[in-house]
Every structure is written in structure tokens, then in C-alpha cells.
A and B are shown apart, each in its own frame.
Chain A
């Protein structure tokens, strides 16, 4: 799915080192589908041990945030396990953009491959977004991928970096495997020239 202009409500998660075990705990990794993970997102932070009662110290399910499309995070967001179930659960819940001070590499890639836009911003800018979110009545963020600019309903404007390759992939909604298939001949040539080791498997 192609993405460019995005606008929506913001869920603030002011914690560093949010790992993918927290985003989607292991007991939900046994499913063989890509869909339906949203209800397990941040499971142990959202629910009490009974799996039903909402925890009071986590606001994701309140009317203010339950239809948020932007997630605002801290440093090293998405660290730990490579589970792609993490972006699947964010996406299934409704998130389209994750903004953070920094990202773990695998999670960042996994977002891109699923059409979620990960935006890395300087620490003071993210802190300003957190502050604005806290004070604004109905806070929203707007992003243009094409111009690589983000602005919020309080008037903050920030530009962000995105790899040109991924910018095109996201804006056109291309299938990466289809794209790579065009290089089939080059892959074959590489295999012939490098006598890719026969493992004897």
C-alpha cells in the first residue's frame, strides 16, 4: 500500500529501550497468520494478569488514544527480538507512523517492509513533541513523506531523513521481491562466478 500524506492522533510512550517482547509477548508468536495481532499489542502493559481488565497506568485503550495512528517513543525503540509480529501488531492496532529518538535496526527495517513509517528525530525535538502532546487539548501530527516534513497541531515543524530507496518503495507501495526478481540474471551470474558453496544439504 502506497503512503505519503499521513495525519492523526498521537499515543505517547515516554520510555527508552521498549523491546519487542513488550510490543508483542511471546505467547502470541505461535500463530501462523500475519493478521489479528493488534489485540495483543503491549499486552502485559495494557492488561492485568486476567488478560481483560485494563491497567490504569497504560492509556492506550482510553478514548483519547485508542484510535491513534502515530506512536511517539524514546531511545532504542524496538530493541531485542527480530519478531516481525511487532510491526504487525502495531499496524493491526492502527498505527501508521512510529516516531522515536532512535530505533533498533531490525525493528526499523521490519517497519519499512510493512508500510509503517519509522521517523527518527533529534532527542530535543521528540521531547518537544511529548511536551506538546501533554499540553494540547486535541493533539495531532501530520507528515508528508514526499517533502520529509512533520508538523504538529501546536505549530512545531521538523524535517526528517529517510533513505531514498525506501522513500520510493513506500510512496509507490512496491513489492520488494518483485523488484529483486528483475535482477534475476545478475543473481545467476553471481552464483556462477562465485561457485556458491555447495553445502551438501
Chain B
């Protein structure tokens, strides 16, 4: 009999009830909550006189619409009401909350791992599609809608049909100046924004094994942009080293015992999957998007495509539409694209190593005079750690704005908005029309590439800047 993959192992461990003709009733180990997708769920509980079944497995923070400067003044009264509502709901239902003034506050997908709430083998949900981030630890983590948030609050379970499994193997090694963000953008460009629909992806292969935890989070974070329900990585020593000593690890077991449990979750060597993709690390170059979904991307050394480069008429139409929205000429070199804004942040790329990678490129340079650039750390703790090693000084001296933690310009629910027609090089995860502000034009890329764009004012191959620094 074939072995099992980690997805099957976690799934089977969490079945509360199974019955032919029905989805499985799955137990949820950790429920993360934020201000935007929870108010209607709490209201639903209230209307039916229900309680939160396991407040001790529920954790809330504010991130989506918090201000990233002048922290204490929330000018947007509707946003303020939403934050106040979360505070009231958490108080009423006894859920722990890291509010805007709390030292643990940050983007929900940054603080979960930081606090050790995220652990291998857990089922983790949140009313946010980028919950797939937590899969980096070997957890089965996926985004849910508000009705499901209410269901988990009330029952700590969800009815779920067993997903298909896909192995995405990234073999070999990455070239100089190529990052985890380039890996995931490359995969989505190669296979499209829908290839993961109906699947949970396990990322495997030497390239993945050699990534740090923070880099693995970047990869898993964007699984949803491939349409996948979740993306995960079998836990290993890298995972265990990261988690050791974190605040919320179980106290009733030794770390050795926990590690032994977690190791047993790894996919068996003879595990089988419903589908399999292999990508060579050597084929990946620094990557940017040119269009209006994360699959519309290309290597930095290439050109903006022509609609007729695509076979499918609907892809041709989509490309034409995207080029019009983005204000780009087919055939122009990607490195000729000038940017007005640079945003370094979001649940994809706002952790300490991301800020270090950007600072390394920025050091000794100035932000181009035509560019507005900001760095928004993913959490208060990331901000503190970055300041302790002087990264904020490097950014500020170069001309970047240095902000407080939040989702910020990734989705522009607060004041951090890209104006209509303006172009932003962004380390976030979505380049949809209007994502960063009505009429805004987004190019997704890695922190180092974003830093390079800030310096030159154009999309730029960071390898050239880096090589110049080394020589």
C-alpha cells in the first residue's frame, strides 16, 4: 500500500464525523480573526444566542484597515466602527485580541507564526484567503468566508469535502539574486491562476527544503493565487528551529516530544498525489507581473507580451484588456517600465528577512526623486527587530517612509492608496484592477526587486545592482 502525504495525514486526524454522501466534519485547531470579515459572524451568533465554542482556540487582531502613521488617530469613522466592533465582540465573547496598541499586533499571517500559534499538523482557518501562509509550517491552513467564520466560532468545526492533492516540486537550486517570491510568481505564470483549483498543494524539492521559514511563508502565501485551497510544506529542522521557544507552544509536552509528533507528519517517501508538477530552480529569474492577475508575469529580462502570443482567444482578450488597464505597450522591455510608488510590505513580504533583503539593496542609495516609497513592517515585533538592527535608518536615509504594522497598501483599505493611473512596484500578492486604489497599476515583485525599482525609478534587474555592489 502506498504511503500517505501530509495533507492526507492531517485531514484524517481531524475528522470528527464522516458519512457517505456528505462532506467530512473537520475539527479546527486554530481560528484567526480580524476586523473586516468577522462583524457579521459575531452578529449572527448574537442573533441566535450562540457562544464561541472554544475562545481558547480563537485569536483576533486588527490589520486590514489600521492606520500606519499617527497610530492613535483613525480618521475613517467607518473603519473605526469596524475596529471598535471587533473590540466589543472579543470582549463579549471572551476572545483574546491584539488591538492597535498591543505589542503583539500585526498582520494576522505574520503574528500567527511569530507567536507560535501556528504549528505543524494543525488545521488553521481565518476569514482571509492568504491563510495559506501558515501552510509553511506543515499546517493545513485555508481561507474561509464569513458564514464559515460564524460556523467555526459556534462549533469549532467545518464541513469540508476532501480536496485533491498536488505535489509541486521545485528541484535544483536558485540562481544569484532569485528569491522565494520569484519562485511562486514563476510557478503561477507558468501554470496559470486556476491550476490549483480544487487542490491542496504540497511544495517539495531541494529549492523548497533550502528556503528559510520566512521564505516558505512567502511561497505558501500565494498558493491561493494559483487557485489552491491551501499550500503547505512538510515540517523539518528549519521549521523546528524557527518554532523553538515561541510563546504559544503547548506547555504540557517537551519540545522533543512535539518534534517527534511533527516529524511523523512528513509525507511518506512513497506518498502519492492526484497531480504532480516539476519546476527547475535554475529556470527561475527575478520575476515581475505586467498584467492584472498574478499569472500575468514574466522574467525581468523579457518584454511585455503581445495578445497574439497566447493561443486561447479568452487569454488574448484578457491580455488586451490588461495592457489597456496597465497603460503598457506590447513588446516593450519590462525594464523600461517606470514606477511612481514602491510598497514593501503585506502578508507575503513584510517579515524581518524581507526588510533586510530590501535594505541591502537600498543601502548607500537614494530613492528616485519621482518615486514615493514606503516600508510597512508586518508586525510591531518585526518593526522593533528591524529598528534594533538599524534597518529603519537605512530606509529613512534613502527616502523611504517607515510606517507602523498593517496590511496597508496591499489592499488600500486605510489611507495608503496608490492614486488613479499611478504605477506601483509592490511586494504584495495581488495586482487586480484597483487593488491598491481605484485606477492603480500594480507590478508584483520581491522585496529586493522593489528596492531596486525605488532606487532607479524603473522595474530593474536587481542582480545588476547587486553585482555592482559586490564588485
CB neighbours (8 Å) of A135 from chain B are none
Residue from B64, B146, B198 having most chain A Cβ neighbours under 10 A: B146
B411 interface residue per 8 A CB criterion:
yes
Cα-based distance from A80 to B247 in the complex (angstroms) = 32
Chain B nearest Cβ from A73, distance in angstroms: 12
| Given known A-B contacts A32-B81, A163-B23, A165-B22, A22 and B147 have beta carbons under 8 A apart | no
A11 to chain B, nearest CB (A): 18
Distance A17 CA – B195 CA, assembled complex (angstroms) = 12
B17 neighbours in A (Cβ, 8 Å): 183, 186
In Å, the complex CA distance between A21 and B37 comes to 14
B residues within 8 A CB of A137? none
**In this complex, what residue of B is CB-closest to A123?**
B314
Q: In the complex where A187-B155, A197-B29 touch, is A79 in contact with B434 (Cβ < 8 A)?
A: no
Contact assessment for A84 and B37 in the assembled complex, using a CB-CB cutoff below 8 Å: yes
Binds B, one of A91-99, A100-108, A144-152: A100-108
Which residues of B lie under 8 Å from residue A25 when comparing CB positions?
434, 438
- Which residues of B are found within 8 Å of A74, using beta-carbon distances? 314
Q: Which residue of A lies closest to B122 (CB)?
A: A197
Contacts A32-B81, A49-B438 given; indicate if A187 touches B27 (C-beta within 8 A): yes
A196 within 8 A of B: yes
The count of residues in chain A whose C-beta lies closer than 8 Å to any C-beta of chain B is 56
Q: Give CA–CA (A130, B25) in the complex, Å.
A: 38
Q: Does B461 contact A (CB under 8 A)?
A: no
Contacts of A52 in B (CB 8 A): none
A102 to B227, CA, bound (A): 11
Tell me the bound Cα distance from A69 to B154 in angstroms.
32
Interface residues of B in 73-127 (CB under 8 A from A): 76, 78-79, 81-82, 85, 96, 117, 119, 122, 127
Asked if B193 lies at the interface with its beta carbon under 8 angstroms from chain A, I say yes
Asked whether, in the complex, the Cβ of B248 is within 8 Å of the Cβ of A201, the reply is yes
Please tell me if A81 contacts chain B, counting CB pairs below 8 Å.
Answer: yes
Are A21 and B96 in contact (CB-based, < 8 A)?
no
Using A16-B318, A32-B43, A163-B161 as known contacts, say yes or no to A21 and B434 having CB atoms under 8 A apart.
Answer: yes
Count B-side interface residues using an 8 Å CB cutoff.
Answer: 82
Bound complex: CA of A176 vs CA of B150, how far in Å?
10
Binding site for B on A (CB under 8 A): 15-17, 19, 21-22, 25-27, 29-34, 44, 49, 74-76, 79-84, 87, 102-106, 109-110, 113-114, 163-165, 176-177, 180-181, 183-184, 186-187, 190-191, 194, 196-201
A to B CB contacts below 8 Å, 28 in the list: A17-B194, A21-B432, A22-B433, A22-B434, A29-B36, A32-B39, A34-B146, A44-B433, A49-B420, A75-B194, A76-B197, A80-B129, A81-B128, A81-B129, A84-B37, A104-B227, A105-B198, A106-B143, A165-B159, A176-B151, A180-B159, A183-B155, A186-B25, A187-B53, A194-B27, A197-B250, A201-B55, A201-B57
The interface of chain B, by Cβ under 8 A from chain A, is 13, 16-17, 21-23, 25, 27, 29-30, 36-37, 39-40, 43, 48, 50, 53-59, 64-65, 76, 78-79, 81-82, 85, 96, 117, 119, 122, 127-129, 143-148, 150-151, 154-157, 159, 161, 193-194, 197-198, 224, 227, 229, 247-248, 250-252, 293, 314-315, 317-318, 321, 411-413, 420, 430, 432-435, 438-439
Q: Which 8 residue pairs spanning A and B have beta carbons closest together?
A: A113-B147, A32-B39, A84-B145, A110-B145, A82-B143, A84-B146, A82-B129, A76-B194
Instruction: Beyond A29-B413, A183-B157, A199-B30, list 17 extra A-B contacts (CB 8 Å).
Output: A21-B433, A25-B434, A30-B36, A32-B82, A44-B433, A80-B224, A83-B36, A104-B227, A106-B129, A106-B144, A180-B25, A181-B154, A187-B25, A191-B27, A196-B29, A197-B29, A199-B248
